[in-house]
Amino acid sequence: MPANARTLRHLRHLPLFTSCSRKDLERIARAGDDTMLASGTTMIRQGDVGREAFIILSGKAAVRRGGKRVATVGAGSVVGELALFDHGPRTATVVCDTDCHVLVLSQRHFLGLLDRVPALAHKLFASLATRIRDLDRAYLG
């Protein structure tokens, strides 16, 4: 499967982008940088200022919070997505357990995309609202 088709397949299944059209997903994919990261590479360090999100196309990575492993993420996962909206501190450290093929989406390119395609912002805000409601129900009942 060509890299572009694989990238679109992963984007389509991410909760952040579920309401996006194929054309929107193609724009998102073009806004990102396709990159290979070696096993052991730190994608994100807890406490650092976030400037980009990583969409994992292949490979696995460990998510650690306060030094404790809290999750393993793999193909189709996105990490660091809050950095697309603000420059707040990273909430976890993410280190590649294997070689990882990722799409790196910088805040600058992402916000530029939203400026060019305002309808995309509406779709993303709806997806984020759903995620917040789901988290609220999961943690507060």
Residue 3: per-residue pLDDT: 54
Total-model pTM: 0.82
Segment 119-126 shows an average pLDDT of 80
In sequence order, which residues have a C-beta less than 8 Å from that of residue 62 and are 6 or more positions away?
69, 71, 72, 94, 95, 97
Instruction: Give 110 or 17, the one with higher predicted confidence.
Output: 110
Q: Report the 10 Å Cβ neighbour count for 23.
A: 10
Fold of 3-108+119-134: Jelly Rolls (2.60.120)
Three-state DSSP class for 88? Answer: coil
pLDDT greater than 80 at residue 18: no
Residues 99-112: pLDDT tens digits? Answer: 999 999 999 998 99
What are the φ/ψ torsions at residue 3 (nearest 5 degrees)?
A: -55, -40
CA dist., res. 106 & res. 84, Å (int): 7
Domain boundaries, the chain: 3-108+119-134
Strands 68-74 and 60-65: antiparallel
Rounded to the nearest 10 degrees, what angle do helices 107-116 and 118-140 cross at? 120
Residues 80-91: pLDDT tens digits? Answer: 988 888 889 999
Segment 121-133 shows an average pLDDT of 81
